[in-house]
Amino acid sequence: MQLSNRVQEMQFSPIRKFNPLAIAAEKAGKKVYHLNIGQPDIETPAAFMEAVRAYEPKVIAYAESGGIPQMQDAIIGYYKNIGVELERKNIIVTTGGSEALLFGFLSILNDGDQAMMAEPFYTNYNTFALEAGGTIAPITTKAEDGFAYAKKELLEKSLTPNTKVICCISPGNPTGNVLTLDDMRVICEFAKEHDLWVMADEVYREFVYDGRKLASFAQLPEYADRVIIVDSVSKRFSACGARIGAIICKNEELMASVMKMAQCRLCSSTIDQIGAAALYTVDDSYYKAVNEEYCRRRDTVHEALMKIPGAVCQKPGGAFYMTVKLPVDDAEDLLNFLLTEFDEDGETVMYAPAAGFYATKGIGKDEIRIAYVLKEEDLKKAAYLLGKGIEAYNKKLGK
């Protein structure tokens, strides 16, 4: 009795790795400011639970494998608003964006194939790729360049004979990097030239700041045949626990393949779909208010972080994450110190060390990812504690 090779290669989440230390610190009475998790505190629009409460089925029955019609139609309506025409056959509702990613990889990767992707990247891509027999070929980006990667020369360096797809998260997790529509064109042109799929994870699409325009790979109809959109209600509507996402694509052959797997797992949650469809009835003021809230938080935490001598972080253009370079030798060691030795008036701070977000070994050791999903005063305090902690840590090491 052995386990498969793929699961032996998988890692536990680097985001959750330090949880036991945080729990111990909290048990010992310390207050920990959590910058490590991407669970927003923004309220889910009431429309979700209202629709769920109004649902009175005698039997909670299977939904259609591709999604209930009102969910598909809600998605069609949303895309129409951003200038993208879809039909139901272009949409398969999935169990979160997560299942859309898995279906995407299972559809296009063979054993040994590679998915290109800018690093640092959302670490779960490693696991999804492994589940489909593939690996991630990283495009290394830098804090100093704002983690930009939509450059032909840079993309070419990471291309291998086994590359089948280029994956883009925009706005990005963990960097907050935002692709413009022109950037997306560069990437699609590169994909076309090398006969690659483009998998576009756009679950943070609304969260772009400083006058940036919402941009989607779906807005480039000339590349529609190779573009697979991964979407979700989780972040858009602060409804992470409702496991409703979608895979959206105009390539009929790909969608037929995804449908085989969708039929196999029967359906996504019927009740979550009923609630999620109702989320799309919120008006524009909702999107605007949430965008402004995150933008304020970004400004607040960026300003506070930049007071830390030696910290490097260009103000990110989107999402609710930042990857920050710190003036320390090892961000994992620092986190260990913050959770087990350091406090100021009984308080400390937690983040996700960024090394785990890189596929290339040995880089990102001095970087961290923070999620600015807390209220502003907490973000300020957390950044302040981080600065104090770094000071104490480097002093301890004699630096």
- The reply to whether 26 sits near a second copy by the rule CB under 8 A is no
To a second copy, the closest distance from the beta carbon of 268 in angstroms equals: 7
Phi, psi values for residue 245, rounded to 5°: -130, -165
Query: What angle is formed at CA 137 by the lines to CA 132 and CA 142, rounded to 5 degrees?
Result: 135
Count H helices, E strands: the chain?
A: 13, 12
Q: Least distance from C-beta 115 to a second copy, angstroms?
A: 12
Shortest distance, position 252 Cβ to a second copy, whole Å: 11
Between 62 and 284, CB nearer to a second copy: 62
Neighbour count for residue 378 (Cβ, 10 Å)? 19
Judged by CB under 8 A, the number of residues near a second copy is 79
Query: Which of 383, 44, 379, 370 has the alpha carbon at shortest distance from 176?
Result: 370
Q: Which stretch binds a second copy (CB under 8 A): 82-90, 103-111, 285-293, 354-362?
A: 103-111
**Cβ-based nearer residue to a second copy, 75 or 255:** 255
Q: Does 364 bind a second copy (CB under 8 A)?
A: no
Burial pattern 169-204, b for ≥16 Cβ within 10 A else e, equals bbbbbbbbbbbeeebbbbbbebbeeeebbbbbbbbb
Nearer to a second copy, 52 or 186 (CB): 52
Query: Using the rule CB under 8 A, is 353 a contact of a second copy?
Result: no
Q: Which of 48, 217, 320, 321 binds a second copy (CB under 8 A)?
A: 48
> Is the CB of 1 or the CB of 285 nearer to a second copy?
1
Q: Could you say which of 92, 108, 328, 385 contacts a second copy (CB under 8 A)?
A: 108
DSSP, collapsed to helix, strand or coil, labels residue 322 as strand
If binding is defined by CB under 8 A, does position 397 make contact with a second copy?
Answer: no
Residues in contact with a second copy, shown as a per-residue x/- string from 127 to 156 under the rule CB under 8 A:
xx--xxx-----------------------
SS3 at position 144: helix
Among 157, 260, 288, 375, binds a second copy (CB under 8 A): 260
Contact call for residue 238 and a second copy (CB under 8 A)? yes
| Interacting positions 172-201 with a second copy (CB under 8 A) | 195-197
Residue (44 or 70) nearer to a second copy, CB: 44
* C-alpha dihedral (101, 104, 106, 112), degrees to nearest 10: -90
Binding to a second copy by residue 220, rule CB under 8 A? no
Centroid of chain to Cα 21? 24
Cβ atoms of 208 and 178 within 8 Å: the answer is yes
- Residue from 33, 79, 164, 231 touching a second copy (CB under 8 A): that is 164
CA end-to-end distance (rounded Å), the chain: 51
367 burial (CB, 10 Å; 0-12 / 13-18 / 19+) is: buried
CA-CA distance, 173 to 345, in Å (whole number)?
Answer: 32
139 within 8 A of 154, measured Cβ to Cβ: yes
Residue 23 engages a second copy in binding (rule: CB under 8 A) = no
For a second copy, the closer CB: 181 or 266: 266
Q: Per CB under 8 A, does 160 bind a second copy?
A: no
1 or 87, CB closer to a second copy?
1
Q: Is 26 exposed, middle or buried (0-12, 13-18, 19+ CB in 10 A)?
A: middle
Q: CB 128 → a second copy: shortest distance, Å?
A: 6
According to the binding rule CB under 8 A, does residue 107 interact with a second copy?
yes
Q: Can you tell me which of 70, 162, 219, 270 binds a second copy, judged by CB under 8 A?
A: 270
- Cα-based angle 362, 32, 344 (whole degrees, multiple of 5): 95
